Structure 1
């Protein structure tokens, strides 16, 4: 197994053991060190304990197999954050039931609860009693989770 495949498998195992979903993983050079940055999520939101569990699992495993990331490295595990743009179908599916602000190529932003998402469309329940709207994903310029203050 190639080192990258082994690292990907290890990251998947760490996320599974912590009952979280992997959103994104990236290895990049920052100065003299490499950084392994991992974003995780779960429906009820990521806790510090979730990040700690994934970090400990990975750190222990990486220390046992130094060929996975050669040399000194920094490990970062966090949630994707509310301001992270939603891009992939997996991003949208993870955020069903949440309030989104979608900017369309037609110009005017739309805010509503994400009811459904597929490869072609997003279905939102508009704020108030304004009904529902289906937005073709090809028209979506950006989409972000809106913070709801109750």
Structure 2
């Protein structure tokens, strides 16, 4: 019997994953004869440490072992986090990306900047043009596509200050004497 559909896997795992404090970001099911695979992507506000994914993987395996959907066919289970190339599509993605460099595609332009505070569906984007810092409000409904950019050096403190401060767990800016750390709001609480 082949592995179940993406929809069935989501139905099987949604409650468990949310109960463990994660968001279910995506599921990918590949049926390929003897080498079927189920890839489950999760994330959470506070990030994911090295011990969290193996524990969650064991819990997911127990759920799969408790149903007949998989039959006797072997499969590979991969529990992972979305990569840096994941498009920013949900408000929680934007919150988690605060302080990171991003490329945003709007209907008529592409804009590079640093993700700032998100409030009521409007993002503060910090931009630097010819050395001059500015902020720009961008409605998430206007975003066609957005992806976090890879940075090879730490951000400047002035950019991070305009972006709303350094989020706990992130590296301090290169000139960190000029900025303070901020705490993330609790789930569902806007700053």
Q: CA deviation at 1:139?
A: 4.3
Q: Secondary structure in 2 aligned to 1:131?
A: strand
1:43–1:95 contact (8 Å) kept in structure 2: no
Q: Determine which of 81, 92, 102 is the counterpart of 2:94.
A: 92
Distance in 1, Cα, partners of 2:149 & 2:46? 16
**What's the C-alpha RMSD, in Å, of the aligned pairs?**
3.0
Structure index of larger Rg = 2
| Pairing 1:65-104 to 2, within 5 Å after superposition | 65-67=67-69, 69-70=70-71, 71-104=73-106
Which residues of structure 2 form unaligned runs of 5+? 155-191
TM-score w.r.t. the length of structure 1 is 0.73
Which residue is 2:179 aligned to? Answer: none
Structure 1 or 2: more strand by fraction: 1
Distance in 2, Cα, partners of 1:138 & 1:36? 32
TM-score w.r.t. the length of structure 2 is 0.60
1:103–1:109 contact (8 Å) kept in structure 2: yes
Change (3 A) 1:10 1:117: farther
| RCO higher in structure (CA 8 A, sep ≥6) | 1
Distance in 2, Cα, partners of 1:74 & 1:90? 29
| Pairing 1:42-53 to 2, within 5 Å after superposition | 42-53=44-55
Q: CA deviation at 1:42?
A: 1.9
Q: Deviations over 1:20-53 (max 9, x none)?
A: 2221123232344432211111233223322111
Number of aligned residue pairs: 146
